[in-house]
Amino acid sequence: MNVKYSFLAAALFATALHAQVEVKHIQTEKSPIATAVWAGDTLFVSGQLASPVTPADPAKGTPADYGDTKTQTASILNKVQAILKEQGLDMKDVVKCTVFMAADPKLGKIDFPGLQASFTQFFGTKDQPNKPARSAFQVAGLVAPGYRLEIEVIAVRSK
């Protein structure tokens, strides 16, 4: 077989393998986006936001309080951990995190040390030594006042 046909055969084989990736959307009727999407052995988890420490009180006109960056990071990573667990994965399977951070109005800037303080409770520990690749970006704002960060992850099922 000459080089031209070898290359063509390899390209067709790669295309056939790619076409066989099973895609499964983890979603609910309530949300306009999937919580996560499986593509083969890779799980893409949508960006997660913190749960309120103190819910909004419409009667008093007070907004929800989501806590500081450290508190929000822990809340978000607990949500991520629950999503992973539902899919048969754990934090050790996370290969990539993307963090979007808004300035904390009390500090007038992003609180990167607050992120790190909670992040290191989930990754690089004695019980879970794996550390994912991570990117962090400062953004002008998130979907609602009070949110300091949003985190999305990619996890891979080990074989």
- CATH code for the domain in which residue 93 is found: 3.30.1330.40
Residue 21 — very low, low, confident or very high, per pLDDT cuts 50/70/90?
A: confident
pLDDT at 114: 97
Mean pLDDT within 134-158: 95
Identify the weakest region by mean pLDDT among 7-16, 97-106, 108-117. Answer: 7-16
pLDDT at 44: 97
At 61, the amino acid letter reads G
- Mapping DSSP to helix (H, G, I), strand (E, B) and coil, where does residue 156 land? strand
pLDDT at 2: 52
How many domains, in total, are found in the chain? Answer: 1
pLDDT at 144: 87
Which residues are within 8 A (CB) of 120 and not within 5 positions of it... i.e. 6 or more apart? Answer: none
Q: Is residue 145 part of a domain?
A: yes
Q: Is residue 16 part of a domain?
A: no
φ and ψ at residue 142, rounded to 5 degrees = -115, -170
Q: For residue 155, count other CB atoms closer than 10 A to its CB.
A: 26
Q: Is residue 1 part of a domain?
A: no
Q: Is residue 13 part of a domain?
A: no
Residue 19 — very low, low, confident or very high, per pLDDT cuts 50/70/90?
A: low
Predicted model pTM: 0.85
The residue range of the domain holding 112 is 23-156
Identify the burial level of 48 via C-beta atoms within 10 angstroms of its C-beta, where 0-12 means exposed, 13-18 middle and 19 or more buried.
Answer: buried
The torsion defined by the Cα of 106, 110, 116 and 119, in degrees rounded to 10, comes to 90
At 112, the amino acid letter reads F
Q: Is residue 2 part of a domain?
A: no
pLDDT at 145: 86
Q: Which of 147, 148, 119 is nearest to 134 (CA)?
A: 119
Q: Is residue 64 part of a domain?
A: yes
Q: Is residue 18 part of a domain?
A: no
Q: Is residue 6 part of a domain?
A: no
